[in-house]
Amino acid sequence: MNWSNNQYDDDKVIDSCGLFGMMDVNGKRFSGKDPIKAMVNMRERGNGLGAGFAVYGLYPEYQDHYAFHIMYMDNLAKEKTEGLLKNNFRIILDEKIPTKEAKVWNPPILWRYFIEPKSSKYDQTLFDDFIVDKVMRINTETGKAFVFSSGKNMGVFKGVGYPEDIAEFFELKENKGYMWTCHSRFPTNTPGWWGGAHPFNILDWTVVHNGELSSYGINKSYLEMFGYNCTMQTDTEVMAYSFDLLMRRQRLPVDVISNILAPPLWSEIDRMSEKKRKLYTILRQCYGSLLMNGPFAVIVAHHGEMIGLSDRIKLRPFSAGMKGNLLFLSSEEAAIRSICPNLDKTWNPRGGEPVVGRLKEPMIEEIAIKRVMKV
Partner 1 sequence: MLKNYGNGYYVERDDDRCIRCEVCINQCTYDTHFFDSEDDVIISQDENCINCQRCVSLCPTNAITIRKKVSKYTENFHWKDESILSIKKQAETGGMILTGMGCDKPEFTYWDRILLNASQVTNPSIDPLREPMELLTFLGSKPDNLELEFEENKMSLKTELSPQLRLGIPIMFSALSYGAVSYNVHQALARAASESGTYFNTGEGGLDRRLHKYGKNAIVQVASGRFGVNPDYLDVGAAVEIKIGQGAKPGIGGHLPGEKVGPDISRTRMIPEGTDAISPAPQHDIYSIEDLRQLIYALKEATNYSKPISVKIAAVHNSAAIASGIVRAGADIVALDGVRGSTGAAPKIIRDNVGIPIELAIASVDQRLRDEGIRNKASIVIGGGIRNSGDVLKAIALGADSVYIATSALIAIGCTVCQKCYTGKCPWGIATTDPYISKRINPEIATRRLVNLLKGWSNEIKEIMGGMGINAIESIRGNRLMLRGVGLSDRELSALGIKLAGE
DSSP classification of residue 327 = E
Number of residues that bind partner 1 (CB under 8 A): 49
**Binding map of partner 1 across residues 310-349, x = CB under 8 A, - = no contact:** --xx-x----------------------------------
Is residue 229 part of the contact set for partner 1 (CB under 8 A)? no
Largest CA distance in the chain: 62
Q: Which residues pair with 306 in a beta bridge?
A: 301, 357
- Identify the residue among 17, 135, 252, 320 touching partner 1 (CB under 8 A): 252
Mark the segment that binds partner 1 (CB under 8 A) among 68-76, 131-139, 285-293, 353-361: 285-293
Q: Nearest distance from residue 258's CB to partner 1, in Å?
A: 14
Q: How many CB atoms lie within 10 A of CB 196?
A: 27
- Identify the residue among 28, 33, 86, 371 touching partner 1 (CB under 8 A): 371
Q: Nearest distance from residue 288's CB to partner 1, in Å?
A: 3
Is residue 221 part of the contact set for partner 1 (CB under 8 A)? yes
Is residue 367 part of the contact set for partner 1 (CB under 8 A)? no
Is residue 125 part of the contact set for partner 1 (CB under 8 A)? no
183-202 residues near partner 1, rule: CB under 8 A: 188
- Identify the residue among 284, 338, 346, 349 touching partner 1 (CB under 8 A): 284
Is 182 assigned a catalytic role? no
Are 57 and 154 in contact by the 8 Å Cβ rule? The answer is yes
- The amino acid that residue 29 corresponds to is R
DSSP classification of residue 294 = S
Q: Nearest distance from residue 208's CB to partner 1, in Å?
A: 18
- Identify the residue among 75, 286, 344, 347 touching partner 1 (CB under 8 A): 286
Mark the segment that binds partner 1 (CB under 8 A) among 121-129, 309-317, 339-347, 358-366: 309-317
Q: Name which of 360 and 371 has its Cβ closer to partner 1.
A: 371
Q: Name which of 91 and 373 has its Cβ closer to partner 1.
A: 373
Measured distance between the N- and C-terminal CA atoms of the chain, rounded to whole angstroms: 48
* Nearest C-alpha neighbor of 308 from the set 274, 348, 278: 348
DSSP classification of residue 265 = P
Q: Nearest distance from residue 375's CB to partner 1, in Å?
A: 6
Is residue 289 part of the contact set for partner 1 (CB under 8 A)? yes
Report strand pairing: 109-117 vs 89-96.
Answer: antiparallel
**Binding map of partner 1 across residues 253-272, x = CB under 8 A, - = no contact:** x--x--------xxx-----
d(CA 22, CA 178): 8
Measured CA to CA in angstroms, residue 237 lies from 199, 211, 241 at distances of: 10, 12, 6
Is residue 285 part of the contact set for partner 1 (CB under 8 A)? yes
**Binding map of partner 1 across residues 15-34, x = CB under 8 A, - = no contact:** -x------------------
Q: 341-345: list long-range contacts, CB under 8 Å, 24+ apart.
A: 345/321
b/e code 121-134 from CB counts within 10 Å (16+ = b): eeeeeebbebbeeb
Backbone φ, ψ for residue 36 (5° rounding): -65, -40
Is residue 177 part of the contact set for partner 1 (CB under 8 A)? no
Mark the segment that binds partner 1 (CB under 8 A) among 38-46, 99-107, 115-123, 288-296: 288-296
Backbone φ, ψ for residue 176 (5° rounding): -130, 145
Q: Name which of 73 and 247 has its Cβ closer to partner 1.
A: 247
Backbone φ, ψ for residue 252 (5° rounding): -85, 145
Are 159 and 194 in contact by the 8 Å Cβ rule? The answer is yes
Within the chain, how many helices (H) and strands (E) appear? 10, 18
d(CA 292, CA 212): 9
Q: Which residues are catalytic?
A: 17
Binding residues for partner 1, rule: CB under 8 A, are 10-12, 14, 16, 188, 211-218, 221-222, 224-226, 250, 252-253, 256, 265-267, 278-279, 282-289, 291, 293-295, 312-313, 315, 369, 371-375
